[in-house]
Each structure stands twice: as structure tokens, then as C-alpha cells.
């Protein structure tokens, strides 16, 4: 006898929490049921506020707590790599920049590994570890409390160091983006660091995949009109696109295809 819907949904939620993201096709194969059955399961879980629907699947969602760092690294990983390469192409040699915390900003750092004559100030230990081996890149790490969950350096000391600089560019991420252009995150201390980064850069580049659009988070970082460039895999919101155009923000889409799902 096959498992009932309640048991299957419990297992789907466990898979989603382990990986951060699930797809209709993968779950259909895993549980040997039709895609229509999986869509109903995902819709039920979304109605309970446990998941959020995406094109072709769902992601773990919370309005007050972010997905675990190890799971975030797996969500839209190919899209993030493409975004990282596109954002890195905007950064010339012989420039200074901030890179803040986030799995997408880490992809920007990876794309800069072989570059020359960069000064990079970061509150992201993963970024520092990726870049410091290159002797042609000078890396400065903000001091302060290190958050155990993801290697973010947060707090007043980090802000104090950032405020000593006025850099050419800032590369920032966000945990959520409202369709009106508001950028949001989960940790107030992290947000204060991001706000200092924005205030002390001549140009600000936001890097974010399409799954962040319409997601909820409680703390306001900034508005899209405080940015210069938005690099994403695919613009999925006409309202957000209008907000970008109204603010004069350049939108760069990497062209990564979003897998269609006819009934989503």
C-alpha cells in the first residue's frame, strides 16, 4: 500500500529542508506519483506557510528566519554562478570594492579569483578565503563578531571599518526583494553592515536570483532606487522591472532558462 498524502508531504518537507529547494519532476520520480499529485502536495504545503512555490517546484520559506547556509548554497546554484560571472565582468582591474555576505556574492568572488590589482573589503569570511591566495588582490576583512551559521562578520566594529573607505563599487545580496523594489533581510545587524556598504560606495551592484523576488523577510536593507545595477538570472516581476526603470537601475539578465511548468 502506497503512502498517503500526509506522509508524502511530510517527506517532501524533509527533502526541502535538507536541500533548500525541490522540483516537481524530481519529487514525482522520487515518490512514483504524477506531477499533478506533487503540485497538489506543494500547494498544500505552501498554504500552510511551510514552502513557497517557484517555477517548477518550491523552496523553504520563512518570514523571520533564513534557510540554513548549506542549503542556500544549493538553491539556484547554476543561476548564481552565471550571475557571479556577469557581475564580475562589471568590475575593472585597479578598482576597489565591497563584497557583503551571501551565497551569490561568493560567486562574484569566485569569478574574480584570477583578477589583478583589486582592493576588496568584505565582511564575508568565505569571500576572504577565496581571494586572499591571489597576491594581486588585497583583501581587508571587517572585524567583529563572526556569525557561526555562515561566516558573516557583523556588528559595530565591522561598520566602523567599512566607514573608513569610499570604494568604486559595492556588490551586495539580499534575502528577499519586494516587487515594489524594497530589499529585505533577516538579521538586523547584518542589515546595518549592508547599509554602511551602500552608503560608502560610488556604485552599487545587487546580485540576486529570481527566487528572491516576492519572498518575505522582516528587516529593510534599502530600496532599488539606491542601487545602480541589478544582475539576475531572469526578471520575473513586471512591477519590479518598472521600479528599476523608474529609478534608472540597469538590469542585467544572464539568460539562464527558468524551467517551465505548465500548471504553475
Which pLDDT tens digit goes with each residue over 156-207? Answer: 999 999 999 999 999 999 999 999 999 999 889 999 999 999 999 999 999 9
pLDDT for the residue 67:
62
pLDDT for the residue 77:
82
CA atoms of 238 and 219, how far apart (whole Å): 23
Do 124 and 168 lie in one domain? The reply is yes
How far is CA 201 from each of CA 197, 220, 224, rounded to the nearest angstrom?
6, 19, 15
Segment 35-82, tens digit of pLDDT? 999 999 999 888 877 787 877 888 876 554 566 666 666 677 888 999
Number of domains into which the chain is organized: 2
Give the residue from 242, 188, 190 showing the smallest Cα distance to 218: 188
Do 166 and 37 lie in one domain? The reply is no
Give the residue from 234, 217, 249 showing the smallest Cα distance to 54: 234
Do 185 and 95 lie in one domain? The reply is yes
pLDDT at 32 over 80: yes
pLDDT for the residue 40:
94
Do 135 and 199 lie in one domain? The reply is yes
Average pLDDT over residues 17-45: 90
- Characterize 85-106 residue by residue with b for buried, 16 or more Cβ atoms within 10 angstroms of its Cβ, and e for exposed: bbbbebbeeebbbbbbbbbbbb
Share of the chain above pLDDT 70, in %: 89
Average pLDDT over residues 111-136: 96
Average pLDDT over residues 213-225: 91
Do 213 and 87 lie in one domain? The reply is yes
Average pLDDT over residues 199-217: 92
Residue 245 lies in a domain: yes
Do 57 and 134 lie in one domain? The reply is no
Residue 106 lies in a domain: yes
User: 168 is written with which cell numbers?
Assistant: 568604486
Do 49 and 101 lie in one domain? The reply is no
CATH of the domain at 41: 1.10.10.10
Which residues constitute the domain of residue 57?
5-61
pLDDT for the residue 260:
38
Do 148 and 246 lie in one domain? The reply is yes
pLDDT for the residue 227:
98
Could you say which DSSP state residue 21 is in?
E
pLDDT at 221 over 70: yes
pLDDT for the residue 131:
97
Residue 259 lies in a domain: no
pTM, two decimal places? 0.77
Residue 67 lies in a domain: no
More confident residue, 5 or 115: 115
Do 141 and 207 lie in one domain? The reply is yes
Residue 103 lies in a domain: yes
Do 100 and 226 lie in one domain? The reply is yes
Residue 258 lies in a domain: no
User: Lowest-pLDDT range, 49-53, 131-135, 140-144, 237-241?
Assistant: 49-53
CATH of the domain at 101: 3.40.50.1360
Do 117 and 178 lie in one domain? The reply is yes
Supply the angle between the helices 24-31 and 35-47 in degrees, to the nearest 10.
Answer: 110
Residue 99 lies in a domain: yes
Reported confidence tier of residue 127, pLDDT bands at 50, 70, 90: very high
pLDDT for the residue 263:
40
Residue 163 lies in a domain: yes
pLDDT for the residue 64:
47
Q: Please, are residues 192 and 157 in contact by the beta-carbon 8 Å criterion?
A: no
Do 138 and 180 lie in one domain? The reply is yes
pLDDT at 264 over 50: no
Amino acid at each position: 500500500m502506497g503512502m498517503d498524502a500526509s506522509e508524502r508531504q511530510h517527506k517532501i518537507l524533509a527533502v526541502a529542508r535538507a536541500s533548500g529547494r525541490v522540483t516537481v519532476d524530481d519529487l514525482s520520480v522520487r515518490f512514483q506519483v504524477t506531477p499533478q499529485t506533487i503540485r497538489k502536495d506543494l500547494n498544500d504545503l505552501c498554504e500552510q506557510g511551510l514552502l513557497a512555490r517557484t517555477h517548477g517546484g518550491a523552496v523553504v520559506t520563512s518570514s523571520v528566519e533564513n534557510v540554513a547556509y548549506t542549503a542556500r548554497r544549493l538553491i539556484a546554484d547554476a543561476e548564481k554562478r552565471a550571475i557571479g560571472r556577469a557581475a564580475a565582468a562589471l568590475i575593472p582591474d585597479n578598482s576597489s570594492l565591497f563584497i557583503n555576505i551571501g551565497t551569490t556574492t561568493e560567486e562574484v568572488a569566485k569569478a574574480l579569483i584570477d583578477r589583478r590589482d583589486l582592493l576588496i573589503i568584505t565582511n564575508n569570511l568565505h569571500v576572504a578565503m577565496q581571494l586572499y591566495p591571489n597576491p594581486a588582490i588585497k583583501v581587508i576583512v571587517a572585524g567583529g563578531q563572526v556569525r557561526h551559521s555562515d561566516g558573516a562578520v557583523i556588528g559595530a566594529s565591522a561598520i566602523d571599518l567599512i566607514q573608513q573607505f569610499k570604494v568604486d563599487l559595492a556588490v551586495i545580496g539580499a534575502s528577499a526583494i519586494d516587487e515594489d523594489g524594497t530589499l529585505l533581510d533577516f538579521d538586523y545587524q547584518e542589515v546595518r553592515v549592508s547599509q554602511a556598504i551602500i552608503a560608502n560606495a560610488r556604485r552599487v551592484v545587487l546580485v540576486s536570483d529570481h527566487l528572491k523576488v516576492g519572498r518575505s523577510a522582516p528587516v529593510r536593507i534599502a530600496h532599488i532606487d539606491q542601487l545602480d545595477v541589478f544582475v539576475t538570472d531572469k526578471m520575473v516581476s513586471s512591477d519590479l522591472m518598472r521600479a528599476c526603470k523608474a529609478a534608472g537601475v540597469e538590469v542585467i539578465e544572464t539568460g539562464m532558462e527558468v524551467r517551465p511548468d505548465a500548471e504553475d
